[in-house]
């Protein structure tokens, strides 16, 4: 189910604003000349939620940084719960007028899952949330169909169903 490296090109930007104050990104992008460039976060955001962590990619000290490392594949019930908590933190931070970046390796799937769920918590329908993530970040966003299934099922139900399999 892992999608990283399956033909999805690097994004053309380090991060993209999905809705005001809520940004989605990755750890690498292709600059305008086509060179793969690391994304280094400094102080652009008040909160950075990382679903993938790589040393040296920021953010600066003093910036709130939450790391919730999950795979780009099937998730356990505990991992789905962690995704839900990260999305809740992002939504609460937006309501407090804080600038939030949600990022993963490529900035497509794991960050897309958290981002789309955060958008539903902010009042968007699931379909609209998925559309916004793909439209504003990349058509490659949420190309992990399992993550779309989690969103369409609802993370609470997906967590319960996944927990039954254990």
pTM to 2 decimal places = 0.93
Condensed to tens digits (0 to 9), the pLDDT of residues 27-84 reads 999 999 999 999 999 999 999 999 999 999 999 999 999 999 999 999 999 999 999 9
Q: Is residue 162 pLDDT above 90, yes or no?
A: no
Q: What is the pLDDT of residue 1?
A: 42
Q: Is residue 166 pLDDT above 90, yes or no?
A: no
Condensed to tens digits (0 to 9), the pLDDT of residues 70-129 reads 999 999 999 999 999 999 999 999 999 999 999 999 999 999 999 999 999 999 999 999
Cβ-count burial 29-66 (b if 16+ within 10 Å, e if not): beeeeeeeeebebeeebbbbbbbbeeeebbbeeebebb
- What are the beta bridge partners of residue 103? 25, 50
Q: What is the pLDDT of residue 43?
A: 97
Q: What is the pLDDT of residue 6?
A: 59
Radius of gyration of the chain from Cα atoms?
15
Q: What is the pLDDT of residue 164?
A: 77
CA distance between the termini of the chain: 18
Could you write out the DSSP letters of every residue in 11-65? PSSSEEEEETTEEEE-SEEE-TTS-EEE----SS-SEEEESS--TT----TTSEE
Between 5 and 156, name the one with better pLDDT: 156
């Amino acid at each position: 189910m892992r999608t990283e490296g399956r033909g999805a090109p690097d994004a053309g930007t380090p991060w993209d604003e999905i809705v005001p104050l809520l940004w989605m990104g990755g750890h690498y992008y292709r600059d305008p000349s086509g060179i793969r460039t690391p994304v280094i976060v400094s102080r652009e955001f008040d909160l950075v939620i990382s679903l993938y962590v790589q040393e040296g990619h920021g953010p600066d000290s003093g910036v709130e940084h939450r790391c919730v490392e999950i795979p780009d594949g099937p998730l356990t019930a505990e991992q789905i719960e962690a995704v839900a908590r990260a999305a809740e933190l992002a939504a609460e931070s937006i309501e407090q007028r804080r600038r939030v970046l949600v990022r993963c390796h490529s900035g497509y799937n794991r960050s897309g899952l958290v981002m789309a769920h955060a958008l539903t918590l902010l009042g968007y329908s699931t379909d609209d949330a998925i559309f916004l993530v793909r439209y504003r970040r990349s058509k490659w966003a949420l190309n992990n169909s399992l993550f779309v299934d989690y969103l369409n099922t609802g993370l609470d139900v997906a967590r319960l169903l996944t927990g039954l399999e254990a």
